[in-house]
């Protein structure tokens, strides 16, 4: 049966929920309640009350670590109920600037770390980071703005959505070309083409005057990001390059429908990402599949 905290939240948000069948029903119901409250707040602002704060705090206690809990913590921040317990329950990107502030980061110290990767921050980015550090709550639900401010043109936004049909004849080719285009120094990939061969996609390309082909297993209507990163990083390794492709984990924010990627030094980037508490991952047979800690 539904927990008392969930039933209270359902009532306050004005949703009607079906019969309890599994814990997932409850998690979905709590998440839907927060979405309904957010929709109301979009028009009328957050109408906070002791009853709502109390309901959110109890729901947070009952949903720690799942996607509903992330949304409940975010709602509490929106209601200006900010505490260490609430911050620790935020999704990693929403917690990021709070962590920076707690650890004494400044825009200048962040800029110095990124400069080790050859990434300079412009005045606009420095100003945004300063504003977020003054008011970390203003950075909540701004993960794309955060990434853009940190990495600028070195960031690639990839479309990983289930398109409900088979991929067209250029999805993987475009992705591969775009990863090559954000390399620094540049990787001169040319003549990239893609065609299907049974359950495999063949991607042909020319690099440094040599024609080559790699294959990626088809995942139906989903994009095979692991296959793409494994092949891209293998090619970089064969070119005796220290560059590797990394992804920023934002699956809890957008359901894994989009991916944010950077190509950077295989040794320096994981170290800097961990120091800045950035959730990252990669797929590379020559190095441990790196994942920075989500909890600061």
Q: What is the pLDDT along the chain (296 residues), one digit of tens a residue?
A: 889 999 999 998 888 888 888 889 999 999 999 998 888 876 777 777 888 899 999 999 999 888 899 999 999 999 899 999 999 999 999 999 999 999 999 999 999 999 999 999 999 999 999 999 999 999 998 988 999 999 999 999 887 766 655 556 688 899 999 999 999 888 898 999 998 877 888 999 999 889 999 999 988 777 888 999 999 999 999 999 999 999 998 766 566 677 899 999 999 999 999 999 998 888 877 665 555 444 43
The pLDDT of residue 269 is 94
Residue 294: per-residue pLDDT:
45
Last residue of a domain, one of 74, 90, 106: 90
**Beta strand residue intervals within 128-269, DSSP E:** 156-159, 189-197, 200-207, 210-217, 243-248, 258-265
| Cα-based angle 140, 150, 103 (whole degrees, multiple of 5) | 65
Picking from 59, 90, 121, the residue at the C-terminal end of a domain is: 90
**In terms of domains, do 120 and 219 share one?**
yes
Angle at 56 between CA 53 and CA 62, to 5 degrees: 145
Long-range contacts of 61-69 (CB under 8 A, 24+ apart): 61/5, 62/3, 62/5, 62/6, 63/27, 63/30, 64/89, 66/27, 67/27, 67/31, 67/252, 68/27, 68/28, 68/30, 68/31, 68/34
Instruction: Give yes or no: residues 39 and 156 share one domain.
Output: no
Is the bond preceding residue 185 a cis peptide, omega within 30 degrees? Answer: yes
What pTM value is reported for the model?
A: 0.85
206 and 277 housed in the same domain: yes
Tell me, yes or no, whether 20 and 141 share the same domain: no
Closest CA to 178 of 193, 206, 204, 156: 156
Domain residues for 96?
92-296
Residue after which a domain boundary falls, among 90, 106, 139: 90
Closest CA to 143 of 224, 227, 74: 74
Number of domains the chain contains = 2
Residues 100, 67, single domain; the answer is no
Q: Are residues 160 and 142 in the same domain?
A: yes
Please provide the size of the chain in residues. Answer: 296
Looking at the structure, do residues 80 and 156 belong to the same domain, yes or no? no
Query: 86 and 20, same structural domain?
Result: yes
User: Do residues 255 and 138 both lie within one domain?
Assistant: yes
* Cβ(131)–Cβ(107) below 8 Å: no
194 and 181 share one domain = yes
Burial of residue 251 (number of CB atoms within 10 Å: 0-12, 13-18, 19+): middle
Residues 116 and 34 grouped into a single domain: no
Q: Is 218 helix (H, G, I), strand (E, B) or coil?
A: coil
| C-alpha separations of 252 from 16, 20, 195, 255, 265 in Å | 25, 24, 32, 6, 26
Q: Are residues 67 and 112 in the same domain?
A: no
* Token pair 């299907």: residue: 196
Q: How far apart are CA 214 and CA 160, in angstroms?
A: 20
Q: Please tell me the predicted confidence (pLDDT) of residue 150.
A: 95
Report pLDDT for 48: 79
């Amino acid at each position: 049966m539904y927990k008392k905290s969930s039933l209270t939240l359902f009532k306050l948000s004005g949703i009607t929920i079906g019969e309890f069948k599994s814990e997932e029903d409850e998690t979905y119901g709590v998440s839907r309640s927060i979405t309904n409250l957010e929709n109301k707040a979009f028009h009328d602002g957050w109408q906070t009350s002791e009853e709502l704060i109390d309901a959110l705090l109890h729901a947070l206690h009952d949903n720690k670590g799942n996607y509903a809990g992330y949304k409940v913590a975010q709602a509490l921040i929106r209601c200006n109920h900010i505490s260490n317990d609430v911050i620790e329950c935020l999704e990693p990107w929403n917690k990021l600037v709070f962590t920076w502030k707690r650890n004494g980061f400044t825009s200048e110290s962040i800029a110095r770390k990124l400069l080790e990767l050859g990434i300079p921050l412009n005045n606009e980015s420095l100003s945004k980071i300063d504003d977020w550090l003054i008011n970390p709550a203003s950075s909540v639900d701004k993960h794309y703005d955060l990434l853009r401010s940190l990495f600028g043109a070195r960031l690639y936004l990839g479309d990983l959505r289930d398109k409900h049909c088979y991929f067209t004849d250029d999805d993987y080719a475009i992705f591969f070309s775009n990863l090559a285009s954000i390399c620094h120094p540049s990787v001169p990939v040319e003549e990239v083409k893609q065609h299907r061969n049974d359950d495999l996609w063949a991607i042909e390309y020319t690099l440094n005057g040599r024609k080559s082909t790699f294959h990626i297993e088809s995942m139906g209507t989903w994009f095979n990001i692991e296959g793409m990163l494994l092949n891209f990083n293998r090619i970089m390794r064969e070119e005796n390059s220290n560059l590797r492709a990394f992804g920023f984990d934002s699956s809890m924010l957008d359901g894994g429908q989009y991916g944010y990627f950077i190509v950077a030094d295989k040794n320096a980037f994981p170290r800097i990402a961990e120091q800045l508490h950035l959730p990252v991952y990669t797929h590379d047979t020559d190095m441990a599949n790196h994942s920075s800690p989500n909890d600061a």
